[in-house]
Amino acid sequence: MANFNRRQQYDTGPKEFEETVVQINRVSKKTKGGNQARFSALVVVGDKKGRVGVGLAKAHDVRNAIRKSIEAAKRKLIVVPLSGTTIPYSVNEKFSAAKILLKPAPPGSGIIAGGPMRVVLEAAGIRDAVGKILGTKNKISNVYATLKALEQITGIVEMKKKPAKAETKE
C-alpha cells in the first residue's frame, strides 16, 4: 500500500492568481442563545496581467472565511485595460462614502496610493499610477470604489472601439 500525504493530493502547482487579504473582521450576531461570533474576510485576487476581483465572505473561522472570499473574488473578476504599465486616463469614482481619484503616472514612478487602493492596483498589474482616497477610511468601501473606477475605464475603452454609425444623406 502506498502511503499518501493528504497535502500532496491537493497541491495544484503554481497559482494562477495572487491572493491578498485586506481585512479580517470579527462580527457577532445576537441570538436567543447568546452571541454568535463569526469572521468576515475581504480578499483581493489578481493575476497582475489586467484581471482583478474582490471577495467578501463570512464563516465561523478565519480560514473558511478567507477561502470563501477567494472563491467569491474569482467568480467576480474584471478585466482592466492597461496602457503599458499604467491606466489610459484619469478616473473619479464614488462608492458609498468613498471617493477615489485615480490618475496615470509616467513609467518608473510606481504606485503612489494608500493601503486598500494600492492592493487592488498591484493585483491588477498596474505598476505606475497616482491615487487619492477621499471621504472615508473604511477599507471595504475603498476597495469597492477602486474596483468600480477600474470597471469604468473598461466600459469607456470598449465604447471607443465600436465603429461609429455611418450617416446617410437624402
Query: How much is the pTM?
Result: 0.82
Give the C-alpha distances (Å, rounded to integers) separating 111 from 15, 77, 78, 106, 118: 24, 21, 20, 10, 7
CA distances from 134 to 77, 81, 103 (A): 25, 24, 14
CA angle 160, 165, 169 (to 5 degrees): 145
Percent of the chain predicted with pLDDT > 90: 73
Which of 28, 30, 124, 116 is closest to 80 using CA atoms? 124
pLDDT tens digits along 149-160: 999 886 555 556
Instruction: Name the nearest CA neighbour of 52 among 153, 156, 160, 159.
Output: 153
Same topology for domains 16-75 and 80-161, yes or no? no
CA gap 9, 1 in Å, rounded: 16
What class has domain 80-161? alpha beta
**Sequential DSSP letters for 17-41:** SEEEEEEEEEEEEEETTEEEEEEEE
For the chain, give every domain's residue range: 16-75, 80-161
Second CATH level (architecture) for the domain 16-75: 2-Layer Sandwich (3.30)
DSSP β-bridge partners for residue 112: 130
**Cβ contact 139:122 at 8 Å:** no
Quick check: 164 pLDDT over 70?
Answer: no
pLDDT one-digit tens code per residue, 56-78: 999 999 999 999 999 999 999 99
Query: What pLDDT, in 10s, does the model give residues 89-142?
Result: 999 999 999 999 999 999 999 999 988 999 999 999 999 999 999 999 999 999
